[in-house]
């Protein structure tokens, strides 16, 4: 679990640890990351690590949660300003991750897609409709999360060859074709 205070010093230390972890993950798996090497690379004290995080995975959880919250805030501002719709939201998601996908790539490489799913689920659950906790809405949230996360995973695994606009069109085309698709391949 992460427990970062909102003061500038804590955020600076957490960011340094994140960058150091991303560098470490270029050559090793998450399970091989050594905290001693990590804090040395980040140029922070070991106590700073444990003040903010319990384990290296928590750094990725924090960054993923933070980035999805930032994305949601950006979209909400865009929605109020321009009246953006769901298609605009989907494209905004891919445009956002097109520029800064290190955390997603690290999580996918280390088979921790659950962290991405949990980050998206937390944001969608903040919706006023989620408070009602209708069964239909719960299924709807999970379906949308699965679709978007699945598309992001495939997109990243393919090296983000498609632009945000292209991946949005691929998603929309697939959604239109779902009623005609066989249940089993």
**pTM for the complete prediction?**
0.85
What is the mean pLDDT of the segment spanning 147-151? 89
Topology (CATH level 3) of domain 1-54: Arc Repressor Mutant, subunit A (1.10.10)
> What are the Cα distances from residue 63, in Å, to 8, 60, 69?
16, 5, 10
Instruction: Give the SS3 label for residue 160.
Output: coil
pLDDT exceeds cutoff 90 at 63: yes
Q: Which residues 6+ apart lie within 8 Å of 72 measured at CB?
A: 123
**pLDDT tens-digit map of 22-50:** 999 999 999 999 999 999 999 999 999 99
Looking from the CA of 11 toward its CB, the CA atoms found within 13 Å total 4
Look up tokens 């391949």; give the residue.
Answer: 185
Instruction: Report the mean per-residue pLDDT for the chain.
Output: 88
What is the mean pLDDT of the segment spanning 49-72? 94
Cα 91 from Cα 179, distance rounded (Å): 23
Q: Hey, what are 115's tokens?
A: 């962290």
């Amino acid at each position: 679990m992460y427990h970062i205070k909102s003061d500038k010093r804590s955020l600076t230390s957490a960011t340094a640890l994140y960058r150091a972890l991303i560098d470490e993950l270029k050559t090793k798996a998450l399970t091989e990351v050594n905290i001693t090497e990590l804090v040395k690379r980040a140029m922070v004290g070991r106590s700073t690590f444990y003040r903010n995080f319990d384990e290296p995975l928590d750094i990725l959880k924090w960054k993923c949660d933070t980035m999805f919250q930032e994305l949601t805030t950006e979209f909400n501002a865009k929605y109020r300003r321009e009246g953006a719709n769901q298609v605009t939201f989907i494209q905004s998601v891919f445009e956002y991750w097109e520029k800064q996908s290190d955390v997603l790539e690290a999580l996918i490489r280390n088979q921790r897609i659950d962290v991405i799913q949990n980050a998206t689920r937390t944001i969608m659950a903040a919706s006023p409709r989620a408070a009602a906790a209708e069964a239909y809405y719960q299924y709807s949230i999970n379906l949308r999360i699965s679709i978007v996360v699945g598309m992001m995973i495939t997109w990243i695994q393919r090296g983000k060859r498609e632009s945000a606009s292209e991946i949005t069109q691929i998603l929309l085309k697939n959604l239109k074709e779902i009623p005609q698709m066989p249940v089993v391949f």
